[in-house]
Chain A
Amino acid sequence: MSQENAKTAETSVPFWKEMFSSKNMKLLTRPFGADNPVTVQVLGICSALAVTAKLQPALVMAISVTVVTAFSNLIISLLRNTIPPRIRIIVQLVVIAALVIVVDQILKAVAYEVSKQLSVFVGLIITNCILMGRLEAFAMANKPWPSFLDGLGNGIGYGMILVVLAFFREIIGSGTLLGYRVIPQSFYEAGYSNNGLFILPPMALILLGIIIWIQRSRNKDLIEKEK
């Protein structure tokens, strides 16, 4: 960050303008849609599907992943000139694993119930391809602040997909949101019943397929070309 502050002092532009320039903001917002890590870059699918049966664990997972991507991008970007290229994978994994351990310990202390529900998937953030993908593709070649924004953006883009999936799966599958009943009792008395299929794992895949379908119908550039 000090580099950037020094630069802003020279050009006498207020540093916040530099920090939130349109180029930097683009880094933050592109992953929300056109460059979404899950639906376009196909990264981090493993955990995106397993934790979305209910909204609460999905939210916790989204926040955890966002924190870890943002900070691992920042740390690796700060270290990028000192890491020998041959052992960079190990260095990246160690940084990620250390951050994930911190997140895991905090979850266990603050939200024990949710951390039980997430079980191994907190640990699996380490092997989440979004992290390695962004570190390799962005943080190793860019300055700390843009890397931080890129990590934040990708984490949020991933989180958005998680929340959308979890929203539909919980409301259709159990008729609740965050554990509160939203479908009134009178519906059930009139013969409505929950669709148990939405709780089961395969439905997450099919829903994600439909999300991709909708996104690509709206944005024709993303359609895969015939090979």
Chain B
Amino acid sequence: MDNNLFSLFVRSIFVDNMVFSYFLGMCSFLAISKNVKTSFGLGIAVIFVMLITVPANFLINKYLLVEGGLSWLSPALAEVDLSFLSFIMFIAVIAAIVQLVEMIVERYSPSLYSSLGIFLPLIAVNCAIMGASLFMQEREYSTLAEATTFAAGSGIGWCLAIVGMAAIREKLKYSNIPAPLKGLGIAFIITGLMGISFMCFLGIEL
């Protein structure tokens, strides 16, 4: 069991990397990855929010939305299937939690707030967060531990990707790129090449 969790953790960082194999969170990935420091800040914020939202959505999915999920309330509700509501529930939970996290961080840790502050609202519409919740539902993780491990792994994988990208883009300033390819164009091609290099993790079984 423990071995399983470890394997899931490593897989979600490297093999099923959110950015390189599913292209999730690309918008902020491309917009923010201009220097290492801010992209590290955003990466940490993503890990943090993911670790809260995925387990929360897991519980909501398990005890409210899936067919028979409501049976703990009363046996009469055992046949209610609310899974068509999952999109709206997930996004509402994410938006609410992001708002809440922002308020709590602002109250108790002003220094963390000033470094994460601008990124937190952005995270509500980061597809990686929503994607993690949807993958959690799609792949039918059965326990809370699995969902949390998956969230941690995906968050760390995303953070790793954006920091790596930022490091490359800092060096890129000194290179001579054809003018039409500058900025966005070369960023895409580099992401593609990084994706290819991440493919060497495919097939790793732990």
- Which residues in A have some Cβ–Cβ distance to B below 8 Å? 39, 42-47, 49-50, 89-90, 93-94, 97-98, 100-101, 104-105, 119-120, 123-124, 126-129, 132, 200-206, 208-210, 212-217, 220, 222-224
Contacts and interface: CB of A to CB of B under 8 A. Distances in A.
Nearest to A128: B127
Interface of B: 20-27, 30-31, 84-88, 90-92, 95, 121, 124-127, 129-131, 134-135, 138, 178-189, 191-196, 199
B205 to A, nearest CB: 20
Contact of A223 (B85, B127, B180): B180
27 contacts: A42-B184, A43-B27, A44-B27, A45-B30, A46-B25, A47-B23, A47-B127, A50-B23, A89-B95, A89-B121, A93-B92, A101-B84, A101-B85, A101-B87, A124-B130, A126-B130, A200-B196, A200-B199, A201-B21, A204-B192, A206-B192, A209-B192, A210-B185, A212-B185, A216-B185, A223-B179, A224-B184
A210 B178 CA distance: 12
| The 9 A-B residue pairs with the shortest CB-CB distance in the complex, in nearest-first order | A202-B195, A205-B192, A216-B180, A224-B183, A209-B188, A209-B189, A206-B192, A120-B134, A212-B185
Contacts of B138: 119-120
Contact of A100 (B87, B92, B131): B87
The A contact surface, by secondary structure, is: helix
Contacts of A47: 23, 127
A109 to B, nearest CB: 11
Contacts of B127: 46-47, 124, 127-128
A202 to B, nearest CB: 3
Contacts of A123: 86-87, 90, 130, 134
B182 A223 contact: yes
B182 A127 contact: no
Contacts of B91: 93, 97, 126-127
Contacts of B126: 127
Contacts of B84: 101, 104-105
A26 to B, nearest CB: 24
Contact of A206 (B26, B130, B188): B188
B25 A212 contact: no
B87 A97 contact: yes
Contacts of A222: 180
Given A89-B95, A123-B134, A127-B129, 14 more contacts: A42-B30, A45-B26, A46-B131, A47-B23, A94-B88, A119-B138, A120-B131, A127-B91, A129-B125, A205-B192, A205-B195, A209-B189, A212-B180, A217-B180
Contacts of B195: 201-202, 205
A39 B191 CA distance: 15
A186 B186 CA distance: 38
A84 to B, nearest CB: 15
Nearest to A93: B91
B27 A46 contact: yes
Nearest to A219: B180
Nearest to A50: B23
A204 to B, nearest CB: 8
Contacts of A126: 87, 91, 130
Given A213-B178, A213-B180, A223-B182, A89 B20 contact: no
A213 B192 contact: no
A101 B88 contact: yes
B125 A94 contact: no
Nearest to A214: B180
B192 A202 contact: yes
Contact of B27 (A45, A89, A104): A45
Contacts of A100: 87
